[in-house]
Structure 1
Amino acid sequence: MIVPFAPVLSTAAVSLRNHIWTHYSEQDKAEAVARGEEVPLFLRKEFQCDQCSRSFSYLTLLESHLKEKHGTGEKAEKEKELCGICGAAVTNLHAHTRLKHTKEEDKKFECGICKKKFAYNNHLQNHRRLAHSNQKPFQCDVCGREFKLLKWMETHRFGHEEVKPFESEVCGIGFSRKQVMKRHISTVHEGKKRTDHKKSQK
């Protein structure tokens, strides 16, 4: 039995193919589908908001839209709790306490490379992957850029979608990343220098 050869497209070839699709008219798209071409995932927009007319390519984008625009969905903003140790207002008090207030003697998992210690094995594994590994298993299907974390790739995808779910409460300008929106408010509306803003984030 002869198995037909299936060519594997390189990252650059996939990126070029996806880019070409962004220039297609509706007629071009219909003709491409008729030829047997597959519509790139980022153009399918199969997830529709049930509260407005917006639709999205990824469920995570829809969830972010629901949270930011309608205050609903599985990722709706939770009530913040005050930490009894440091007074910080946090959405997950248990996780905050584990990450910020674990005693040194409770950190039993040590990195064999840099000797940094962690209270939980999964924190050590995450540290190894982010600090000491070059593996980037999550790839953007539009431009081919690779990321170490899924959430980093999903945040990057907002740029291709032209989705800007994070709006300034002061002027209404939208941003694709929450951190950029916070920096905008700090520097433009509060008059802080970027160095001051960075210090306040630590």
Structure 2
Amino acid sequence: MTNKLFMTMLGATPTGRHIEQHDIYFGIGTEMKDLVPQIANFWPEGGPKLHVDAWREVNHVEGHQIEVVDREDYQPTGLKLFFLNLGGYKHGIFDEFHQTCLIVADSHKEAIQMVKNTSFYEEFNLPPKGYSHVDNKYGLDVDDIYEIDEILNDDLKQKYAIKITKTDKVLDDDKIELGYMKLNSF
């Protein structure tokens, strides 16, 4: 079977927290159940209530085919796959809204420019203190942005690379699975 890149939204209520917390994890396997040990290692504080709220097999992003290849066979194309977490606000609502984005670009600067052209920036922009912003790009410092290839866990990073191929073919959107999914359900 072929290895695939998976994007997962994890949820848990760690000890000492009042509401469910979320994080994003990217892993590689032939199917979702291959990621269960990776997920448990990624967020051990999640404990027995650690679960998946959403997942996606990442095959296509913005007219590009996404493949996982052995690192030793990888031929760079100059294109990179970026994950960005957008944050924004709406007047009178006590919350920060988020939208996660996968962007294919050749640089961090280009990825940020592309994401600033989304409708999210207009809809969830509340000046002067609540400007829409590129939030904690993968839970890291606000001023940083990382390629998916860089934020994979060390074992995966050493074995695999993300191959991105532009295509003119019409590609179906990746299917997104939603719901409360316990890790032992995979």
TM-score (norm 2): 0.23
Task: Compare the two structures and name the one with the higher helix fraction.
Answer: 1
Q: Which has the larger radius of gyration?
A: 1
